[in-house]
Amino acid sequence: MVVLGLETSCDETGVALYDTQRGLLSEALYSQVAVHAEYGGVVPELASRDHIRKTLPLIDRVLSDACLDKTDIDAVAYTSGPGLLGALIVGATVARSIAAGLGVPSLGVHHMEGHLMAPLLSDEPPGYPFVALLVSGGHTQLIRADAFGDYRLLGESVDDAAGEAFDKVAKLMGLPYPGGPVLDRMAAEGDGSAFAFTKPNVPGLDMSFSGLKTQIWQFLQQHVQRDPAFIEARKNDIAASVQCAILDILMDKVEAAVEQTGILRVAIAGGVSANRGLRARLRAKEEASGWEVFVPPMAYCTDNAAMIAMAGSLMFEAGARGRLDDEPVPRWAF
């Protein structure tokens, strides 16, 4: 079964073809980062308009890259939420129009289920059960996955997501959006023990990042008052220390989740799973303990359509079918 997958929930237009027998056939991704850069964040109306421009040409491209014709598509999966409503409507409308025209089924996929399945796109996918740390711009969750479709939320951020914490701190430092990859690059050149921030005390497997952001804001204010050149002079050390504080929170909770569940298979997914510091700390943990760590290929950490096509194909195989009048869901718990 050949599944066409579309991802248009935010500022990336992703299109992919996934074959249940042969795996990923082709994919294309267009990032709108340049469109939104001058505004310091994603402008929803501009995102929708750009998805409209890019989706159909990218579908033509993935078909031609896979040497397939539209009539070879057996089903269409699209991200139906959570995300920006206008952007979701573009993907849903294109997906369902193609499906209706071809007389094949369509199906809406939860964006976070797509991220959760991304580690399965690697050469060494995790077996079940596994514990997943989902860390994106909108979500920070610890999930226990016992089978496809059988998930339990173990804990989550009670306020900001980890990616949001990276982005907000980067903004305070005057760095461009999205801040995560920029801080990641600067952190590699800095000293993570240069500045210490206190860790929030959140019970169980829940997490919090908003207090850290406030602490860093106060820290920067105090230093800049004394020395206006402070941020520029110490930017790599600040980035490394901030990253270290965020990763300490995440690693503590992942360790607690492993202890609580007794599951040693740990997967990460979502934009922040591209963070080199996080990947290195998990690899170090794998070497030092009995953990098996599963990290998606870089291209499948941030938003992409391969994960949507793949998750959609598993849903189609399980018999799921969407309806032409399904509404996209901008706020959708996972």
Q: Does 303 bind Zn ion (CB under 5 A)?
A: yes
Q: What angle do helix axes 179-187 and 162-172 make, rounded to 10 degrees?
A: 80
Residue from 184, 245, 267, 281 binding ligand KG4 (CB under 6 A): 184
Residue from 167, 186, 207, 238 binding ligand KG4 (CB under 6 A): 167
CB 296 within 8 A of CB 306: no
Residue 250: which of 231, 266, 262 has the closest Cα? 266
Peptide bond preceding 57: is omega within 30 degrees of 0, i.e. cis?
A: no
x-marked contacts with ligand KG4 along 130-159 as a string, rule CB under 6 A: ------xxx---------------------
Minimum CB separation from ligand KG4 for residue 143, in Å? 15
CB 136 within 8 A of CB 161: yes
Strands 23-31 and 75-81: unpaired
Q: Does 8 bind Zn ion (CB under 5 A)?
A: no
Residue from 14, 181, 190, 192 binding ligand KG4 (CB under 6 A): 181
The amino acid at 277: G
Residue from 105, 178, 192, 322 binding ligand KG4 (CB under 6 A): 178
Q: Does 167 bind Zn ion (CB under 5 A)?
A: no
CB 320 within 8 A of CB 105: no
x-marked contacts with Zn ion along 119-158 as a string, rule CB under 5 A: -----------------x----------------------
Nearer to ligand KG4 (CB atom), residue 105 or residue 312 = 312
Q: What angle do helix axes 179-187 and 276-288 make, rounded to 10 degrees?
A: 60
| Percent of the chain as helix, strand, coil, to the nearest 5 | 50, 20, 30
Residues that bind ligand KG4 (CB under 6 A): 10, 136-138, 163, 166-167, 178-181, 184, 270-272, 274-275, 302-303
